[in-house]
Structure 1
Amino acid sequence: MKHRRISRRRIGVAGGAVAALVIAGVTFQSANASDSTEQFSVKALSAPAAGTLARSLKADLGTAEAGSYYDADARALVVNVVSEDAAQAVREAGGKARVVEHSLAELTGARKTLTDKASIPGTSWATDPVSNKVIVTADRTVAGAKLAELQKVVKSLGAKAELKRSAGQFKPFAAGGDAIHSGGGRCSLGFNVVKDGAPHFITAGHCGQAGSEWSDSAGGAAIGSMVDSQFPGNDFALVKYDGDAPHPSEVNLYDGTAQPITKAGDATVGMQVKRSGSTTQVHDGEVTALDATVNYGNGDVVEGLIQTTVCAEPGDSGGSLFAGDAAIGLTSGGSGDCSSGGETFFQPVTEALSVFGAQIG
């Protein structure tokens, strides 16, 4: 495979000047990757700052970049690359470079194969930058001929894909924060937003249809009407407040306090996040993959999701995924519960805001 030569002069200071912190011999282990143990300067970054640097390097490196993740222990951005020129550019920008086997184009091709040949209810797949593979997960309902079919497709992808099993069942968590009710069902409010100068809130699309009315108590008076709902494909919805219902830009922490939310942010693999929902309240975990595809069954396939280790249960749908004062995602679904754990998927907030033309507020 040929890769374009990266101009170090153009890229060398992407994301800002290299920090003075020097880490010698830092080693990140990963399958199918080579890593240098030479001494070089690495920026100490917060997860949001690492995400900003990752986006900058991705734009500059083009096809030579093969994914990235945040190492929370080292407070470092790790960037996968497929050429030594690109690796040097990452080091000059203050990141940790890893030369890996598979390009993003190759992993994207593997994902397309899975979509075309193995879109089976109860499965999900996402590109894992740590292993430089597409991780395919099959829940407990995938068995017999369907499991054999999935195993065959994954095997055909060789080292580009790996199959794992989940003890639970993938499903939307239908019935951040406070409970919202409609027609006997319960979901969770995600984030308060402003659209065209008017107060709204966002939640999961699978919670209801456009035109449905929502209240803040079971059988209570409506506080708003759903003006748009997108599911499957995406999983987000927009509700416009009626009257004078309070709409602070914060998330209920269920301990008598709230977390102010001032902005929307993008997730980064390795980021520590929290989720607030009306069933299980507040739990935390880690982002494990981006751009995940999950097949919930009955034709309900959602793409572009954030995959995490944060637990959730029915009724938590639509609830807030956040990191500090940044809105990150809306609870979509997953497997397991808050006793046994499992995989959980979230709709990125930035995409929902872009589609609706709304802002956090």
Structure 2
Amino acid sequence: MPKRKAAIAVGGVAALGAAALLLPHANASQDGGQAAGGTARTLKAAQASGLAAQLQKALGDAFAGSYYDGGRQQLVVNVVSGDNNVIQQAKKAGAVVRQVKNSTRDLKAAATTLKTKATIPGTSWAVDPRTDKILVTADSTVTGAKWDRLQSTVQGLGSGMATLKKSAGTFKTFVSGGDAIFAQTQQGGVRCSLGFNVTASDGSPAFLTAGHCGVAAKDWSDSQNGQPVATVDQAKFPGNDFSLVKYDDPSTQAPSEVNVGNGQTVQINQAADATVGETVFRMGSTTGLHDGKVTGLDATVNFQSETNPGGVDTVNGLIQTDVCAEPGDSGGSLFTQDGSAVGLTSGGSGDCTSGGETFFQPVTAALQATGATLGNGAGDQSGSADPSAPAGDQSGAGDQSGAGDQSGSADPSASAGDPSGSGGDQSGAGSGDDGSSLTSTR
């Protein structure tokens, strides 16, 4: 019997109007080389993330966060020490150095105070290195005494430590309304989006999705009324928000790629930590492909508990973005132009008409916790499109038996679920300012 390729497309299936992949020659001239005299280097976002990690170790307590300036394609590093040696060290590495007031230790202490005094359903906070403050957000449900308590706590942190803003929507997990992966519970049907195919620690093919999806149901199908094809192995929610789901058929071929619609895929080569300021792309089964910016790291979100009236489901360590999402997009993939897996859609507020905030579970943390690895999994990935090919040239696409024939340009309707009614027209283009040329609507 031939091996069965995964019928669940990574990241879900976009509507027929989903954006095309306009592939990346824009970054070809960015060699990341350092100019003479220690001047700031021109970097891709992935290079900036790696440099930031190196400088964080090298600078120690003087390091106070960093972010990617997409317009200038440079890494900006915050330092709290006036030590000229520290500043020169960062400059020689190719970063733009900015002296700030609040240290990483100060910001973490402020976050601890918020956790102790203001864990209120409908609130979130994240470090924003662009302002050297903690950004505190309250959704539309935080009113009256709850708002007064939150406002008082923020003011008590001291001047210049945090900013407080209101969100028009309501923080919620995006667990229903999609069309990529399906499960049945006592309360009815559940729909989520697949994040990334992985290889479990025992070598079996599996995928990552949101933890609140894995907690809601154990058995998952690739069609609304179909037989289960995968079983939850590990699920973490609240606290974290990730699930490892193993395919029931050990011969399932699970390619390491994201289906972005119109028969096109983005090869996923590695996992990467997010960098504030970088352009990221989210794929979900309800709304398809959308892009935006990372706006904060190490975010804490206090969701209203769905199982405990009046309770709070708190998730820590999330990536905050201005990318939109809607119910059904939960678990969907957040990735970069160069094929780095960054996050799994957790929840947020707003929608893809009015916008809003969306939070993501870091993939690096999920892989470390589950022992899973990104890569070829159990399948041959020679059939995925060549990212260096011009948009529309999918001659490299191989046989995707079991998920529809994708030679040339695959019919998206042959993939998991019925895409009818999902996402609407996504033919608009929104190119990121970090040189990315993958396009989507926002």
Q: TM-score, normalised by structure 1?
A: 0.88
CA distance in structure 2 between the partners assigned to 1:226 and 1:148 by the alignment: 41
CA distance in structure 1 between the partners assigned to 2:366 and 2:299 by the alignment: 16
- 1:34-53 → structure 2 map (5 Å cutoff): 41-53=39-51
1:288 corresponds to which of 281, 295, 309: 295
Asked if structure 1 preserves the Cα contact closer than 8 Å seen for 2:179 and 2:191, the reply is: no
Task: Give the secondary-structure state (helix, strand or coil) at the position aligned to 1:141.
Answer: coil
Task: Give the secondary-structure state (helix, strand or coil) at the position aligned to 2:107.
Answer: helix
2:239 corresponds to which of 233, 242, 251: 233
CA shift for structure 1 position 197: 1.4
Asked if structure 2 preserves the Cα contact closer than 8 Å seen for 1:335 and 1:342, the reply is: yes
- 1:146-165 → structure 2 map (5 Å cutoff): 146-158=146-158, 159-165=160-166
CA shift for structure 1 position 267: 0.5
Aligned to 1:9: none
CA shift for structure 1 position 305: 0.2
CA distance in structure 1 between the partners assigned to 2:122 and 2:266 by the alignment: 34
Task: Give the secondary-structure state (helix, strand or coil) at the position aligned to 1:209.
Answer: helix
Cα deviation, 1:28-84, whole Å, max 9, x if unaligned, reads: xxxxxxxxxxxx611111101001010000001111000000001111100000123
CA shift for structure 1 position 256: 2.0
Matched, 1:320 2:326: no
CA shift for structure 1 position 260: 1.1
- 1:72-221 → structure 2 map (5 Å cutoff): 72-85=70-83, 86-158=86-158, 159-175=160-176, 179-183=180-184, 184-195=189-200, 196-209=202-215, 212-221=218-227
CA distance in structure 1 between the partners assigned to 2:130 and 2:205 by the alignment: 40
Q: 1:105 to 1:122 in 2, by over 3 A?
A: same
CA shift for structure 1 position 279: 0.3
CA distance in structure 2 between the partners assigned to 1:211 and 1:185 by the alignment: 8
Cα deviation, 1:277-303, whole Å, max 9, x if unaligned, reads: 000000000001110000002221000
What is the aligned residue count? Answer: 328
Q: 1:136 to 1:210 in 2, by over 3 A?
A: closer
Asked if structure 2 preserves the Cα contact closer than 8 Å seen for 1:304 and 1:347, the reply is: yes
Asked if structure 2 preserves the Cα contact closer than 8 Å seen for 1:287 and 1:306, the reply is: yes
1:223 corresponds to which of 229, 251, 260: 229
Matched, 1:346 2:360: yes
Aligned to 2:270: 263
The one-letter code matched in structure 2 to 1:270 is: G
CA shift for structure 1 position 245: 4.0
CA shift for structure 1 position 87: 1.9
The one-letter code matched in structure 2 to 1:19 is: Q
The one-letter code matched in structure 1 to 2:288 is: Q
Asked if structure 1 preserves the Cα contact closer than 8 Å seen for 2:325 and 2:352, the reply is: yes
Asked if structure 1 preserves the Cα contact closer than 8 Å seen for 2:205 and 2:252, the reply is: no
The one-letter code matched in structure 2 to 1:135 is: L
CA shift for structure 1 position 348: 0.3
CA distance in structure 1 between the partners assigned to 2:281 and 2:315 by the alignment: 22
Aligned to 2:16: none
Q: 1:178 to 1:193 in 2, by over 3 A?
A: farther
CA distance in structure 2 between the partners assigned to 1:121 and 1:307 by the alignment: 17
CA shift for structure 1 position 18: 6.8
CA shift for structure 1 position 242: 1.4
Q: Which moved more, 1:235-244 or 1:53-62?
A: 235-244
Asked if structure 2 preserves the Cα contact closer than 8 Å seen for 1:210 and 1:228, the reply is: no
The one-letter code matched in structure 1 to 2:132 is: N
CA distance in structure 2 between the partners assigned to 1:42 and 1:135 by the alignment: 27
Asked if structure 2 preserves the Cα contact closer than 8 Å seen for 1:226 and 1:237, the reply is: yes
CA shift for structure 1 position 210: 8.5
CA distance in structure 1 between the partners assigned to 2:217 and 2:331 by the alignment: 17
Aligned to 2:283: 276
Task: Give the secondary-structure state (helix, strand or coil) at the position aligned to 1:145.
Answer: helix
Aligned to 1:35: none
Task: Give the secondary-structure state (helix, strand or coil) at the position aligned to 1:287.
Answer: strand
- 1:302-321 → structure 2 map (5 Å cutoff): 302-321=315-334
Cα deviation, 1:81-137, whole Å, max 9, x if unaligned, reads: 012322222111110000001111111111111000011100000111000001100
Percent identity between matched residues is 57
CA distance in structure 2 between the partners assigned to 1:234 and 1:167 by the alignment: 25
Cα deviation, 1:123-173, whole Å, max 9, x if unaligned, reads: 000111000001100000000010001111111112101111100000111
Which has the larger share of strand?
Answer: 1
The one-letter code matched in structure 2 to 1:349 is: V
Unpaired segments ≥5 residues, structure 2: 1-31, 306-311, 376-442
CA distance in structure 2 between the partners assigned to 1:21 and 1:255 by the alignment: 45
Extract structure 1 runs of 4+ deviating beyond 3 A.
none
Unpaired segments ≥5 residues, structure 1: 1-16, 23-39
Q: 1:357 to 1:233 in 2, by over 3 A?
A: same
CA distance in structure 2 between the partners assigned to 1:345 and 1:149 by the alignment: 24
CA shift for structure 1 position 211: 7.2
Task: Give the secondary-structure state (helix, strand or coil) at the position aligned to 1:73.
Answer: coil
Q: 1:140 to 1:341 in 2, by over 3 A?
A: same
Aligned to 1:68: 66
Aligned to 2:34: 19
